[in-house]
Copies of this chain bind each other. A is one copy, B any other.
Amino acid sequence: MTLIVQKYGGTSVGTLERIRAVAERVSASRAQGNDVVVVVSAMAGETNRLLGLGKELSKRPSEREMDSLVATGEQVSAALLAIALSERGVPARSLVGHQTRIFTDGVYTKARIRTIDDAPFRSTINAGAVPVVAGFQGVDAEGNITTLGRGGSDTTGVAIAAALKADVCEIYTDVDGIFTTDPNICKEARKLDRITFEEMLELASLGAKVLQIRSVEIAMKYGIPIHLRSSFSDSQGTIVGAEDKSLESVVVTGVACDKNDVKVTMRELPDKPGIVARVFGSLADNNISVDMIIQTEPRGGKADLTFTVTHSDLARTKDVTERVAREIGAGEVKLHDDVAKVSIVGAGMRSHSGVAAKMFRMLADQKINIQAITTSEIRVSCLIDKKEADQAVRTLHNGFGLG
């Protein structure tokens, strides 16, 4: 018996008609002899509507309350899908956080899953019913409702697949798969049939927006293949899996572009040991992830520090850095969101040199200024002016022959 976890995103359950279509797809998969566990996101637009209500009442609403507020979106779509399945003759039971016993840490709005009890799933399946899980949410040890951050339903799906040792986690969305770059920016973009976990991790973290990064980490850790595909067609999507040693790796698999970065510059930090650790320690204490870091050479005992954070952390970053700046006697703090991070990714970079230099040359030929660079084994990223981002993506996509 094949066990499949199917996760449906917001557009896939965006209307009652779409929910009926999902019920049909689940029913068809069951008819093929598969055991199916379903995970759903909130109906498209619902999470933003709820966030909007909370933010209208308070500029800094309690994160605990915001989690309890937005978690209702998935609870609604899970109940509706369970009703639609029963209507098709497929017994189904919706499950929310405290019922699935998906226990998380207590970090509201971006909680991490600690444990999943497979019993509620097994007992539902053994009773002949389809568990329909409200994605994106869990409960902490005290029973508080937590959410896993934007796209967290992907993580719910993959984590459940790992806990149940499922054969595959199918992630249904409104695109046909992973593309070599964003087709909205570059019309030559091409769908990939396969991509490695590592490549996907780099792409996800770089703003390809297709899969939540943590879901890929969990899939890689537990060896669960992800089949990313469209719920609007029957065509095959992209398999995200382990590296296929028999094939020579492509040097560059894709080009990613992330426009959600904010560049933070702290002026005139005292050039003393421990100052930088103090800054990043305070950010870490507030669960703010820092990406690119540039530190200038100190002059006259003072140095400038520049780094990037994601846009959703902007308000808290401003608070934390201004407070730390006062405490350590640094100068002003400036935040700029007119930047973009353009990246090339490919497992083949491990065995090929000169890829980064080629990238810098291409951007220089277009007179695009590079403000910062970061690299990993299989990725090179450049921070550039946001206005030049689309041009850079097209240049790199064509330059590396991805069309």
Contact = CB atoms under 8 A, between A and B. Distances in A.
Interface of A: 16, 19-20, 50, 53-54, 56-58, 61-62, 64-66, 68-69, 71-72, 75-76, 78-80, 82-84, 86-87, 93-94, 96, 98-99, 139, 143-145
Nearest to A79: B69
Contact of A72 (B62, B75, B86): B75
A199 B286 CA distance: 57
B69 A54 contact: no
Nearest to A76: B72
7 contacts: A19-B57, A57-B83, A62-B82, A66-B79, A66-B83, A69-B76, A71-B75
Contacts of A84: 57-58
A86 B62 contact: yes
Contacts of A58: 83-84, 86-87
A68 B50 contact: no
Given A16-B56, A50-B76, A75-B68, A143 B61 contact: no
Interface of chain A: mostly helix, strand, loop or mixed = helix
Given A57-B87, A98-B143, 12 more contacts: A54-B79, A57-B80, A57-B84, A61-B83, A61-B86, A65-B94, A66-B83, A68-B75, A69-B79, A71-B75, A75-B75, A96-B145
A79 B99 contact: no
Nearest to A99: B143
Nearest to A87: B58
Most buried by B among A61, A66, A144: A61
Contacts of A64: 93-94
A53 B16 contact: yes
A86 B58 CA distance: 8
Contacts of A50: 76
Contacts of A20: 57
Contacts of A71: 75
**Copies of this polypeptide in the complex:** 2
Nearest to A78: B68
Given A79-B66, A143-B99, A57 B16 contact: yes
A84 B58 CA distance: 7
Contact of A65 (B69, B72, B79, B143): B79
A18 to B, nearest CB: 12
Nearest to A73: B72
A69 B61 contact: no
A80 B54 contact: yes
The 10 closest A-B pairs by CB, nearest first: A72-B72, A69-B79, A58-B87, A65-B79, A61-B83, A68-B79, A98-B98, A65-B82, A57-B83, A57-B84
Contacts of A66: 79, 83
A130 to B, nearest CB: 12
A66 B82 CA distance: 10
A82 B68 CA distance: 11
A93 to B, nearest CB: 7
A133 to B, nearest CB: 12
A75 B75 CA distance: 11
A86 to B, nearest CB: 5
Nearest to A97: B98
Contacts of A72: 72, 75-76
Nearest to A67: B79
Contacts of A99: 143-144
A202 B229 CA distance: 59
A68 B50 CA distance: 18
A315 to B, nearest CB: 15
Contacts of A57: 16, 19-20, 80, 83-84, 87
